[in-house]
Structure 1
Amino acid sequence: MSLCLSDVLCHVWGMEKQRYTVVCDVRGGTYVSQVQAADEVEAVRLWAAQLLAEKPVPEVSSEVARNVLKTLVRDPPVALTGLVGVWCFTALVGDNLVLGNIVLSA
């Protein structure tokens, strides 16, 4: 069994991972997946890792993942006003907007 750093930190800090649903619109398609993460930032990182591994976005999965991770450094997900457990993130792939929503699912 292997542990990642976030698993160790969650254990040390007494945090539990929670399920997040990530909904991403890019190049006319909508892509939905779920990850177990400690917070919304980790959820985006894990989602990007899934994109790299599974390549669900035809032709640009790797570029979407890389650009989202680059953008995440300077622009973390933004909580949506009036909602609890919902965030938004954006990035660009060429001239295409990547619009992502993160929902704390359970």
Structure 2
Amino acid sequence: MTTLYHNPRCSKSREALHLLEEEGETIEIVKYLDTPPTHQELKQVIELLDIKPIALIRTQEADWKQNYKDKNLTDEQIIDIMVQNPKLIERPIAIKGTHAVIGRPPKKVLDIL
């Protein structure tokens, strides 16, 4: 089973979902905008991705640019910002077992199969 952190309004996220479906993958869809991850859940995702929290931020979003861009933030603060503002989380994220990828480009989600 693959867990997909998904935003149905995002074309890249929809494409990643379609690619997983084409592979016959069983998918648990997490609509993270409707049900944001907790701090601990997001921290686990970041660990699986093996990235720094800032790498999961959509830095081109106006909210990030206006409110956070030039601040000296710790990793924990960045995670808290994503929990409070889930639209800042890069998408889609696919997780299978102990492997995770950010689906940019969407074909990257196939790397975990």
Structure whose residues are more often strand by fraction: 1
Structure whose residues are more often helix by fraction: 2
With a CA cutoff of 8 Å and minimum separation of 6, indicate the structure with the bigger relative contact order: 2
On whether the aligned pair clears a TM of 0.5, the verdict is no
The normalised TM-score by structure 2 is 0.28
